[in-house]
Amino acid sequence: MHHRTLSRGFTLVELLIVLAILAILSAVALPNYQDSVRKSRRSAAQQLMVAIASREELLLLDAMSYTDSFTTLNFTQDGWSCANTTCTNSFYTVTVQPGSSAPPSFTITATPVPTSAQNSDGILTLTNTGAKTRNGVSGW
């Protein structure tokens, strides 16, 4: 009598089915993941802008003016390199432009780094009145 030995493992068809399922899941999940990461980076820039605005308001109480200098504001933020008139990371460059006429005013601008994944975000702004725009359209 011959005993037939059962081979252990997976058949080629089973492996191909698993690969097809993984490919479909990856095709759906990866763009959603990348979109979530972009939104997270945009949110970090928006949080930075709000923190800068808060520091500018404190300066207004003390000096009766706003500044474009992060050094004057004594401003630092984890994950950002802030010096002189810009705060930067790998995805955004943030600047503050004080208004030139009375009453004092400022506009904070976050510009995506052209070579980054955030490039399609467009320019974000925040003013001393709390007005927020994204590419010139109200709201973030």
DSSP codes joined into one string, the chain: -PPPPPPPS--HHHHHHHHHHHHHHHHHHHHHHHHHHHHHHHHHHHHHHHHHHHHHHHHHHHHSS--S-HHHHT---TT-EEETTEEE-SSEEEEEEE-SSSSP-EEEEEEE-TTSGGGGG--EEEETT--EEETTEE--
pTM for the whole structure: 0.80
Domain-located, residue 1? no
Domain-located, residue 64? yes
Q: How many folded domains does the chain comprise?
A: 1
Supply the pLDDT for residue 101. Answer: 81
Domain-located, residue 71? yes
Domain-located, residue 4? no
User: Residue 78: which domain range?
Assistant: 12-138
Domain-located, residue 63? yes
Domain-located, residue 6? no
Supply the pLDDT for residue 1. Answer: 62
CA 108 from centre of chain:
15
Supply the pLDDT for residue 63. Answer: 92
Domain-located, residue 7? no
Ranges of residues in the chain whose predicted pLDDT is under 70: 1
Q: Look up tokens 């432009």; give the residue.
A: 97
Residues whose CB falls within 8 Å of the CB of residue 36, separated by 6 or more in sequence, listed in order: none
Supply the pLDDT for residue 10. Answer: 86
Domain-located, residue 129? yes
